[in-house]
Structure 1
Amino acid sequence: MLGTNNVKVTATEVQGENQMLLQKYTIEEVEQIGEGVNMVCHKLNYAYAVHFCHGGGSTKTFMVSMTGVDGTKVKAVSICHKDTSLWNPKGLPFVVLNVKPGTTPICHFLQDDQIAFLPYEEA
């Protein structure tokens, strides 16, 4: 699906005692780590390690370093979908952002139980 066997695997990393605490964060650094197709796997509620995986389409992928007000450090994976023209116009991103499909990229963070697979190109 990614067009290569040379793949980078990444996930959101949370370091701190209050990993589930909803709080404000300060973004310290944003680094683009991929562009093009990707595959994201979401953990399912099952007795074994089972994930639902799907293609992300044309995307840009970023690693975002940030710190919470309580000192929690997070390196979060952010996926930006470049083409949303085929998405449901009543979907949550369009309602919250008050935009229409295909007019702007939609970006979101991956939770720490999700995995992103990206084509890896050595520099």
Structure 2
Amino acid sequence: MSSGPPDGLLMVDATTPAVLVLPGPVARDEVPGLCDDVRARLAATGAGVVVCDIGGLGPPGLTTVDILARLELAARRAGGRIRLRNPHPGLRGLLDLVGLRFESEGQTEEREPAGGVQEAVEPGDPPL
């Protein structure tokens, strides 16, 4: 037995970001459409973050940096931001070189200790 879709509005979890997959090389004329996609996903979810899966883009270059900068600008103007998923290992260095910072999935935020790290206690330290 099957049932149809529920009546009324679908519930969207505002804490779960939408995902935009960039499966391969992106042409310059495709970027405005991708920016529209980012804005639409932010509006639809209300999460404030769109995860961009960029694993399919291949080795990073300045074209990749330009695309990511434009997507981030579109997200910021819509009141959100993008988070990178599956970035190429060399991308972080290239982004640092041009002065851009992006949050990546699985990356600890600044001022936040990495999970599972415990501080060592030295003999003779006073108890807390």
TM tier relative to shorter chain: under 0.3
TM-score, normalisation: structure 1: 0.22
> Which structure shows the bigger proportion of residues in strand conformation?
1
Larger relative contact order (C-alpha < 8 A, sep ≥ 6)?
1
Larger radius of gyration: 2
TM-score, normalisation: structure 2: 0.22
